[in-house]
Amino acid sequence: MRLTISTTYPSAKIKTHLPEARIKQKIIQVKIDRNTPLVEIDQRQSYGELGLGGYAEFNTKIREKNFQEALAGIARLAQEGDEVMNRAGLF
C-alpha cells in the first residue's frame, strides 16, 4: 500500500479593470455690470454772480438790463404825455 499525496496550488482567474472616471466641468463665466455714478457740478450761477459767467450769462444780464431801461423809457414817455395833456386841459 502506498500512500501518495498530490497537491495542487489553488488558482483563481480574476479579471480586474482599473476604474475609469469621467468628469465634465463647464467653464463658468462671470459678467459684472457696474454703473459708476455721474457727478455733475454746475457752476454757471456762481461764476455769473462773480461776473465770470459765459456768453449765456452775459447775454441774460444785458437783455434784462435793456428790458428794464426800455420799460423805464416807456413809463417816462407816458408820464410826459400825461403832463402835456394835463397842461392842455384835455385830460
Q: What span, in angstroms and rounded, lies between the C-alpha atoms of 34 and 45?
A: 33
Instruction: Please provide the distance, in angstroms rounded to a whole number, between the alpha carbons at the two ends of the chain.
Output: 176
50: DSSP letter: T
The one-digit pLDDT tens for each residue of the chain (91 residues) are 788 888 888 888 888 888 888 888 888 899 988 889 999 998 878 877 787 777 877 888 899 999 999 999 999 999 999 998 888 887 6
Q: Give, in order, the Cα–Cα distances in Å from 75 to each of 31, 48, 64, 70.
A: 70, 30, 17, 9
Q: How far apart are CA 91 and CA 86, in angstroms?
A: 5
